[in-house]
Amino acid sequence: MKSKHLRLISQIAFFAFIAIIAVNHSLTEIGRGLGFVPELSLHAICPFGGVATLASLIMGQGLIRQLHASVMVIGSAVLLLTLIFGPVFCSHICPLGSIQEWIGKLGKKIFKNRYNKLIPQKLHNILKYLRYVVLVLVLVQTYRTATLMFANVDPYYALFNFWTGEATIAAISILVVTLIMSLFVERPWCKYACPYGGLLGLVSKISLFKIRRNEATCVSCGLCDRKCPMLIDVSKKKKVTDTLCNRCMQCTYEEGGCPVDRACYNGILNAKQQEEAK
């Protein structure tokens, strides 16, 4: 089975899992919970909550109200996964990333070659740093208030709570704008606003596995650039260190993003090291 099929199965499974947990949480509150589903709130399985909690603990503020100790375990597991494989949480697990990608598939059908070209590259190169502005604001506000302030504007929280009355109007509005934008721009929230994606992108700078290009066999066709949803110039790099790369693998030979075997691949060793290891 190709890794793109495994990725899709993983995305659907995690989306369904979080949706069932969220629906069951609502049903439990009216005494109709599904007995076979664990009673969890979204706050108990939010990996970003783990990061915010860690920051809060380090700065001596203690645990954040609303959050459970389980988020520390989940947050640490995602960080470890990222240190090894890069931000695969974003490409394989996160339901908000998945739903943007699925809407994007419809956008590609409608707009064909014009899809994902709405924002000029120069503007994109500036906007992609917005994630870090949001990350700093979220951590500062979380520290100051010891509450997960981000939930008030978090489209992920809104996606699985829009029917409960717990999601704010602001969060639901941001979700709707994100989903509409996904018809024109691939993963707009991931690219320009998500603080968690920004953080995982930073961690991935030192990840073991990276997307690499073999300069000796590359024929400079540029297909990898055109395939990349995050607008990264893969064909100009020896290895991709851009924090936007979520390891979706769409640029690689294995996924049909490169026509030359081993010219664009996900691995630990560069092409020269691979030759020497033979």
Rg of the chain in Å (alpha carbons): 20
Mask of contacts with ligand SF4, 257-276, x by CB under 6 A? -x-x--xx------------
Q: Does 38 bind ligand SF4 (CB under 6 A)?
A: no
* Position 96 contacts ligand SF4 (CB under 6 A): yes
Q: Which helix (H) or strand (E) holds 77?
A: helix 70-85
Q: To the nearest whole angstrom, how small is the minimum distance from the Cβ of residue 18 to ligand SF4?
A: 11
222 binds ligand SF4 (CB under 6 A): yes
Q: How far apart are CA 212 and CA 218, in angstroms?
A: 11
The helix/strand/coil state of 264 is strand
Residue 101 CB-density burial (10 A; 0-12 exposed, 13-18 middle, 19+ buried): buried
Largest pairwise CA distance in the chain: 64
If one asks whether residue 189 binds ligand SF4 (CB under 6 A), the answer comes out as yes
**Residue 72 within binding range of ligand SF4, rule CB under 6 A:** no
Q: Is 85 in the site for ligand SF4 (CB under 6 A)?
A: no
Residue 46 engages ligand SF4 in binding (rule: CB under 6 A): no
Tell me the helix, strand and coil percentages in the chain, rounded to 5.
60, 5, 35
Least Å distance, CB 106 to ligand SF4, is 18
Residue number with CB closer to ligand SF4 (44 or 78): 78
The one-letter amino acid at 127: L
Binding site for ligand SF4 (CB under 6 A): 90, 94, 96-97, 189-190, 194, 196-197, 211, 213, 218-224, 227-228, 230, 232, 234-235, 240, 245-251, 258, 260, 263-264
